[in-house]
Structure 1
């Protein structure tokens, strides 16, 4: 089976999605409809089956033009991409795929997935370790809750002892959740611009069309004001804590804790299901996730940069 570099217009999207679905890494970010919402354009290195022209492995390369030339980048709302291989794949070393990008880009940055074995790398590539937190939901809820920090268990008990405890409800739209995020320094803290919210709305539509979106909220009992909300992606092998927001009052009331506990309670005892908290680089956020009993998992950020003029880097 041979490796081929494909420009976006050459990619067979049906073969692409079939390969992602059959891959040994559960990476929903790599589906064509997800990339279509967050990146629009992506090139790829694919492994072609010798007889059927099916894709047996894919390396997605979201790319765009900049004044200094073409660059590969990591789209927003897309934590991991990297190499996705199927059982039929005969090329399992990501360096072989990266080598086929030589001379095509002036800058390159991509985040691989937790299943990728990275070293060795082609010349000029650098490797940076990133981290997420994962929680295996195979065991029952009582066992999972016993692994929470003592403070988290105490907060959950105190909420239930209230005359009107805060409760988690399901929502069908993320409009208020996104407004809450933007209201409380979404752009300043997360660096999100107007077009990022357009991408998020497009991704929401794609997720809801496939019944993969779970929107949960906590509201103030007396005023019905939104205290906190979160968007979870429920795919075949897991849950992704994709997007969340909370007001200062919601944080003080522990509403984000209630949202995560609600989803853990609902999905506890499901073999093979893993909750990806989608973060862990910032120490305070890492502690928040670890207090649920989640464990760190590393993945690689791969990059290089060249100062050559774009016209010396262009390849058809």
Structure 2
């Protein structure tokens, strides 16, 4: 967890600790407008804890101890009760789809839309290839640069995260090609039985050939049948993305976001 936060924040994070590290709440030190100090979710992270062995009242104690910042926006681990949220915070539940991969692959694929099932049968020769991190980050930047909320620092963070994951054995970038032409690529870290759909890129041909769906299916299939395996779609808030993820048959395992300070900065 600390390696991931180091990479995502470039080592700029604090933490609140209970009882000799029985529980930890990370506090990423980010900045708005280049100089306003805030505690908010860094790029390419989702739930920020608290991590550890939690007892009743621990979450409330940790959140109450968060120092003042002009803005605080912390996505918490799933299952935090509303009663544990101090009154200083607004809170809401964010959508996040997860798919149980512990079943056999035919049973998982049977939950996909029929048209997708048929397309996957026609694409039975598909295979996953690895992709160099720098190449994947360059593709991501070309696809997303200039879009609202995207900054060069975010692509640098993505590159650090991929290298960290590779060094720790947490996964690689993968690509799907058809007749030698790239359809889609993605970064899918895997740890603790959980595979995370962290970042994907689809080419124009891939959009016409269901490239992303085929890529995700291949990644899911690699871990199908493993006890406790889960595919975490991550980032299911945007309506179009939410609808796309929902078609795979996942279940919404929402998590709570707590906020303090002005609205509209996220």
Q: TM-score, normalised by structure 1?
A: 0.76
1:6-155 paired onto structure 2 within 5 Å:
31-39=1-9, 40-48=11-19, 54-64=20-30, 70-86=37-53, 89-90=54-55, 92-102=57-67, 104-155=68-119
Deviation (angstroms), 1:271: 1.2
Q: CA shift at 1:170, angstroms?
A: 2.1
- Supply the distance in 2 between the matched residues of 1:132 and 1:243 (Cα, whole angstroms): 15
1:281 offset after TM fit, Å?
Answer: 1.1
Distance change in 2, residues 1:71/1:219 (3 Å): same
Q: What is the CA-CA distance between 1:44 and the residue it aligns to?
A: 1.6
Q: Which residue is equivalent to 1:207?
A: 165
Checking the alignment, whether the CA contact within 8 Å between 1:171 and 1:216 is kept in structure 2 is yes
Structure 1: unaligned runs, 5 residues or longer: 1-30, 49-53, 307-316
Shift of 1:295: 1.2
- State the match for 1:20 in structure 2: none
Q: Which has the greater radius of gyration?
A: 1
Distance in 2, Cα, partners of 1:41 & 1:142: 44
Among 133, 136, 140, the residue aligned to 1:177: 136
Pairing partner for 1:216 from 154, 174, 177? 174
Alpha carbons of structure 1 residues 45 and 153: separation in structure 2 relative to 1, 3 Å:
same
Look up the SS of the partner of 2:128 in the other structure: strand
Q: Distance in 1 between matches of 2:32 and 2:205?
A: 42
Paired position in structure 2 for 1:193: 151
Does 2:220 align with 1:261? no
Partner Cα distance (2:210, 2:148) in 1: 21
Instruction: Report which structure shows greater RCO (CA 8 Å, sep ≥6).
Output: 2
CA–CA distance in 2 between the matches of 1:192 and 1:69? 18
TM superposition shift of 1:193: 1.4
Give the C-alpha shift of residue 182 in structure 1.
2.3
Post-superposition offset of 1:201 = 1.1
Q: Deviations over 1:68-96 (max 9, x none)?
A: 7532111000011131232xx44554222
How many residue pairs are counted as aligned between the two chains?
260
Q: Aligned ranges for residues 296-311 of structure 1 at < 5 Å?
A: 296-305=252-261
Query: How big is the alpha-carbon RMSD for the aligned residues of Structure 1 and Structure 2?
Result: 2.0
Structure 2 residue ranges without an equivalent (≥5): none
C-alpha displacement of 1:169: 2.3
